[in-house]
Amino acid sequence: MNNKSLNKIPLKASCIALSFLFLLSACGGSASPNSASSSAQTVSTAKIKITAAENFYGEAAKAVGGDRVEVTSVLNNPSVDPHDYEPTPDVARTVSNSKIIVLNGVGYDEWMEKLVNADPASKSKSVIKVADDVMGKKAGDNPHVWYDPETMPKLANKIADELTKLDPSGDQNFHKNAQAYITSLDSIKAKIQKLKQSGAKIAVSETIFDYMAAAMNLTINNTKFGKAINDGNDPSPADIAQMQEDIKSKAVKLFVYDIQNTSPTVDNIVKMAKSSGVPIVEVTETEPEGKNYVKWMTDILDNIGKALGIQ
């Protein structure tokens, strides 16, 4: 996601400011992480506390940890840009009190990486950077790994392993829960297999859907356009012209539109797609309220299928 997204909170926290957040959190206070950001329920203090930067990772942590964990998801609002979110003292306090931190990594949620690095106790915590540690990505790679159908199963096993280190008596329970969660994801892979294409061409507003497109054998016709938007840049005039031509001529079967990451250029393409009769499939960076990960992905895949004429 980039600095042109809607509803952003500018990221201005320096290392000094983040250290100050931890100073404030150490001083205590009655406030708790705001209700829009927390999925935790206050329960036994014996539970292992986990903080996830994004709600879909928090969901996986809760599924694996069950009643032996207390999970807080900082971001669960699709109107907030995870890349540019600015943490509050309450969030700093929650991170400081957690034993496991789950974040996306590779610069996507840099605010959380800075928060962890500013925490004096971070070396004693288990920090899972999903893109880096689970999927082997590096800086500059596409960060949207939760749209890769291989990510969540691997993450579930990683969380089970980390929980076992902290609570060896729960080993069997954690890995059993992980397997149950992985099994629940099978419906997504089944849907992908049903919708698999032989290189059908699509267009995308940015790179969020690239991993899923690859899994479905869909061909993104203009990769430079989406990469520029994702990096916070304007696409070149040549790439804009190609995108416009692809839409007008219906050289692509659909347009995948990340509604959390837009710009005037993207808005114009959306309008053109509507007027040209090219189906638009809306996607989000954050799991929508009222849906779990399976429902979220399945709904998107259903919309892709409808746009491709596959039921």
pLDDT at site 83 = 66
Say what the pTM is: 0.86
In the predicted model, what is the mean pLDDT of the chain? 88
Question: Which residue range(s) make up the domain with 275?
Answer: 189-308
Identity of the residue numbered 232: G
Residue 266 binned pLDDT confidence (cut-offs 50, 70, 90)? very high
Residue 4 has pLDDT above 70, yes or no: no
Token match 């320096």: residue? 14
Residue 212 in 3-state DSSP? helix
pLDDT at 197: 86
pLDDT more than 90, % of the chain: 78
The pLDDT value recorded for residue 147 is 99
| Domain containing residue 179: CATH number | 3.40.50.1980
Q: For residue 165, tell me if it sits in a domain.
A: yes
Residue 122 CA to residue 124 CA, distance in Å, equals 5
Give the number of other CB atoms < 10 A from CB of residue 236: 12
| Average pLDDT, integer, range 176-180 | 99
Tokens of 73: 């998801």
Higher pLDDT, 30 or 293: 293
More confident residue, 84 or 69: 69
Whether the pLDDT of residue 58 is over 50: the answer is yes
- pLDDT tens per residue across span 107-127: 999 999 999 999 998 889 999
Q: Are residues 177 and 211 in the same domain?
A: no
Pull the structure tokens for residue 70.
Answer: 């207390």
pLDDT of residue 33: 46
Tally the domains of the chain: 2
Domain boundary pick from 164, 184, 204 = 184
In this predicted structure, the answer to whether residue 161 has a pLDDT above a threshold of 60 is yes
Counting Cα atoms < 13 Å in the Cβ hemisphere of 274 gives: 8
Amino acid occupying residue 201: K
pLDDT band at 21 (very low <50, low <70, confident <90, very high): low
Domain for residue 66, yes or no? yes
What lies within 8 Å, CB to CB, of 215 at 6+ separation is: 148, 149, 192
**Residue 126: phi, psi to the nearest 5?**
-95, 115
Question: Which pLDDT score, from 0 to 100, does residue 79 have?
Answer: 80
Same domain, residue pair 123 and 264: no
The pLDDT value given to residue 20: 46
How far, in Å, are 186, 193, 297 from residue 190 at the CA level? 6, 5, 12
Residue at a domain's end among 184, 202, 224 = 184
181 falls in which pLDDT band (50, 70, 90)?
very high
Secondary structure class of 70 (helix, strand, coil): strand
- Distance of alpha carbon 220 from alpha carbon 202, whole angstroms: 5
Query: Which ranges of 119-170 would DSSP assign to H, the alpha helix?
Result: 151-166
**Domain identity same for 74 and 48:** yes
